[in-house]
Structure 1
Amino acid sequence: MPSQHVLVLNCGSSSLKFAIIDANQGDEILSGLAERLGDESPLLKYKYNGTKQQLSLPAGSAHQVAILQLVTLIEQLSLTNQLVAVGHRVVHGGETFTRSVLVDEGVIAAIQATSTLAPLHNPANLIGIEVASKAFSDLPQIAVFDTAFHQTMPKTAYLYAAPYRLYREHGVRRYGFHGTSHYYVSEQGRQILGLTKENSRIICAHLGNGCSVTAVLNGQSVDTSMGMTPLEGLVMGTRSGDIDPGLIIFLSQQLGYSMAEVDTLLNKHSGLLGISELSNDCRSIEEAAANGDAQAQLALDIFCYRLAKYIASLVVPLGGLDALIFTGGIGENSDLIRANVLKQLQFLGLDCDSEKNTAARFGQAGVISSDTAKTVALVIPTNEEWVIATDAARLAQEV
């Protein structure tokens, strides 16, 4: 089968993650990250043919400059003519998009209309689409949405118990995120275990600086932990996850916080960082806890307890559980977190094989539950970029 190379762009609020991927094999031809965009010393780091390089960008460079520098790099490496499409990760598709789409003016307008639901990400995603469309004017541009996979959730799962008019008039509802990751690992898990798509009950735990769990019934998302924004749900690196909404009122009325300060507090100063008062990096917190730091240990305990409680709750929409999958930076690499969570879920037929659990790290997939466990637990490295690449290549063929 001939190669189908796709340029994948993931524009964050102050970063640009990119890769050229063979959609057929999943091989990364080029990969990298432009970081600290808008700051005094932005950098573009990349890996090509096993060699890592980095380029300095002019002070204050934003996404446009980074993408143009990437275009120049791709041309210098003689990779341009091999591309069949550009795939764009778009964080929020609202209710408009239930699958990946070929970008046109209508799609751009719909993404713009949804930007109020993701003000830090959708505008950056649109910049990526605009600049790439000009730089690669002869290539199809494909938008792949974080929220699309969760559009199969029923109203009982996605509606808030707020006045219905807020949903009808303003789209206030739960949307869910990390959709490409949950889709990818649930499909991989189903194939590894030999489960049919028509008879599979899987829970996926995507654990990184952002964390979410999703219930996947017969290949479809039926509930997930993140909501209208990525703030809802689990304890995360710097995000609080679920809180009493009255806390926002208390912070505002009693402590004098502005809404901007509340937003910063809950999104950037909470979670593992807020509890540990040390770091948002799970590795640093685990190391501190091992050295006797009680605050770090408390952060890990709360993280694992909330995760286990959420996983247990998602068995309800599934009516049972065939497999639990861990993925993401923490999910793939922290055997300590996995063991702690599985210990709390033994009543679901889950357990942890210590030797298998220790072996499944640093990109190594595998079953981590014992041979006698009634429910299987696995580690599966996620590959959101390959999902984007395969969708982009498929849609490009239809143009």
Structure 2
Amino acid sequence: MRTVLVVNSGSSSIKYQLIDPESGERLASGLIERIGHGAARSSHRQGGATADRTVEAADHTEAFREIVRSFAAAGSPLPTLGVAAVGHRVVQGGSDFVGPTLIDDAVAERILELSELAPLHNPAHAQAIAAARLLLPDVPHIAVFDTAFHQTLPAEAYTYAIDLAVADEYGVRRYGFHGTSHQVVSQRAAELLGEPVTALRQIVLHLGNGASVCAIDGGRSVDTSMGLTPLEGLVMGSRSGDIDPGAILHLLRSGMSADQVDGLLNQHSGLRGLSGSVDMRDVRKAAADGDERAALALRIYGRRIRHYLGAYLVELGGADTIVFTAGVGENDAAVRAEVCSDLDWFGIRLDEERNAAQDSGPRVISSDASRVAVLVVPTDEEAEIARQAWESVAH
């Protein structure tokens, strides 16, 4: 058996999963959180058992050392589990990386340099990569970038209309994110329909706490809603999405600092800023109970999605399929119904019973009369990272 250890690091946490890259089966998973904040918490799940404990993890190296210890404590040291590669999720690859990449010193250094474009993400990725390479030096480490799938965007889609010299000097362009999710979901949608992905025009709606839309033509990303950062585009759990840049300048000139504006737009906007909660279930319940702020939040949320859906239908010249994925997209039938309502003239018709059915698998929710297939396809970014990492080292 060959396995891939998939690592997703945050500034104070490391999530990990041990995956069979061919079947996608999870053999173990875990989380270390509160890294660098006193006593850290470790949770390791393997063989049907869960071990929770308090550990010392002042930095990512100590945290990764605890991960190695957790496998040993469960009776299966990592060297006995056939680890063929470690797959690292990296949010920002800039224009440098167009696919899964073997990490050497130069690649690791470039990932850290790209922190200026992703200050909340890449520094943590770089720390986890350094720790993992130190503690697992004999295993190839592969970076899988959120931005890589969007490197096929045409220049007219990724270029902002600012002075080109300034844009080039500071790396200001649309990079797009959630690329791993959009890629695997579009592939699985094609499989569900029994069509080659190269034959389909798809619009994938990744609706989670973070949310983005991607227009995919023949398996290639041709437009996406997130931009230089994950802040642009849809209304999200705590992010504003699209906003007039002049509003940001107004807030700065009115006395807010850059960090305060950053915190406002990334952490205290979106559903949280409009309704008080990042959880769509809470927002919907509050709206049903008569909370006008929550009801407004739902209308704004759906309107923004429909705005991008309409734009991408025009860009693609129509669509063969619309795909909902991620936490809200997979589980909230009301959101799906609202997004697809009154779109008969685009050939989009939901089947109410199919849409409302409680099902966790890939499925068609459009009616038989719909010219556009509307699907729900669960995303699995970790399994896709494992697959890409495995393919990178298996040949």
Q: Assess if the C-alpha contact under 8 Å between 2:192 and 2:362 holds in 1.
A: no
Match of 1:128 in 2: 128
For the Cα contact (< 8 Å) 2:190–2:196, is it kept in 1?
yes
8 A Cα contact 1:360 1:366, kept in partner: no
**1:371, distance to aligned residue in structure 2 (A):** 1.3
1:33 match: 31
Partner in structure 2 of residue 201 of structure 1: 201
Letter in 2 for 1:270: S
Output aligned runs, 1:348-363, within 5 Å: 348-361=346-359, 363=360
- Structure 2 CA distance for aligned equivalents of residues 237 and 184 of structure 1: 23
CA-CA distance at 1:37 after TM superposition: 3.0
Partner of 2:303: 305
Q: Residue type matched to 2:107 in 1? A: V
Determine the structure 1 residue equivalent to 2:64: 67
Equivalent position SS for 2:261: helix
CA distance in 2, matches of 1:166, 1:347: 43
How far did 1:46 drift?
2.8
Percent of aligned positions with the same letter in both sequences?
A: 46
Structure 1 partner of 2:292 = 294
Deviation digits for residues 265-295 of structure 1 (CA, Å, limit 9, x no counterpart): 000000000011x211111111212222221
Is the deviation greater in 183-192 or in 100-109? Answer: 100-109
Distance 1:259 1:99, change over 3 A: same
Change (3 A) 1:357 1:51: farther
Counterpart in the other structure of 1:385: 382
Report the TM-score, using the length of structure 1 for normalisation. 0.95
Are the equivalent residues in 2 in contact too, given 1:360–1:379 (CA < 8 A)?
Answer: no
Amino acid in structure 1 at the alignment position of 2:257: S
State how 1:178-189 maps to structure 2 within 5 Å: 178-189=178-189
Cα offsets for 1:148-188 (capped at 9, x unmatched) = 00000000000000000123222110000000000000000
Please tell me whether the aligned partners of residues 8 and 385 of structure 1 are also in contact (alpha carbons under 8 angstroms). yes
How many angstroms does 1:112 deviate by?
1.9
Q: Secondary structure at the match of 2:65?
A: helix
- Against the structure 1 CA distance between its residues 339 and 62, is the aligned structure 2 distance closer, same or farther, given a 3 Å change threshold? farther
Distance 2:49 2:285 in 1: 30
Summarize the Cα distance change of 1:337–1:37 in structure 2 as closer, same or farther, 3 Å threshold.
farther
Give me the whole-angstrom Cα distance separating, in 2, the residues matched to 1:282 and 1:230.
19
Does the CA-based 8 Å contact 2:68-2:77 persist in structure 1?
A: no
Q: Distance in 1 between matches of 2:252 and 2:158?
A: 27
- AA aligned to 1:184 is V
Q: The residue matched to 1:42 in structure 2 has which SS? A: strand
Structure-1 residue corresponding to 2:259: 260
SS at match of 1:143: strand
For residues 112 and 173 of structure 1, what CA distance do their matches in structure 2 show? 19
- Checking the alignment, whether the CA contact within 8 Å between 1:356 and 1:367 is kept in structure 2 is yes
Does the residue aligned with 1:386 lie in a helix, a strand or coil? helix
The CA distance in 1 between the partners of 2:314 and 2:355, in whole Å, is: 26
Distance 2:62 2:328 in 1: 32
* Alpha-carbon distance in 1 for matches of 2:310, 2:35: 40
User: Secondary structure, in 3 states, of the residue corresponding to 1:57?
Assistant: strand
CA shift in 2, pair 1:334/1:38, >3 Å:
farther
Q: How many residues are treated as equivalent by the alignment?
A: 392
| Per-residue deviation, 1:345 | 3.5
Conservation of the 8 A alpha-carbon contact between 1:308 and 1:344? no
**Unaligned residue ranges in structure 1 (runs of 5+):** none
Rounded Cα–Cα distance in structure 2 between residues aligned with 1:336 and 1:61: 44
Shift of residue 236, structure 1, vs aligned partner: 0.3
174-183 vs 339-348, which deviates more? 339-348
CA RMSD of aligned residues (A): 1.5
Deviations 1:100-148 (A, max 9, x none): 0111112112212211000111111111111111111110000000000
**Matched residue of 1:315: which SS?**
helix
Give the gaps of 5 or more residues in structure 2: none
What do residues 43-73 of structure 1 show as CA deviations (whole Å, max 9, x unaligned)? 2223222333322233x74433321111111
**Match of 2:91?**
91
Residues 1:156 and 2:156 are matched in the alignment = yes
Rounded to whole Å, the distance in 1 between the matches of 2:344 and 2:299 is 17
User: Equivalent residue of 1:109, what SS?
Assistant: helix
The structural deviation recorded for 1:40 is 4.6
- Tell me, in whole angstroms, the C-alpha distance in 2 between the residues paired with 1:280 and 1:41: 27
Structure 2 Cα separation of the partners of residues 234 and 385 of structure 1: 23
Cα gap change, 1:344 to 1:210, in 2 (>3 Å): farther
- Which whole-Å CA distance do the structure 2 matches of 1:261 and 1:155 have between them? 32
Deviation at residue 242 of structure 1 after TM alignment: 0.3
Amino acid at match of 1:388: I
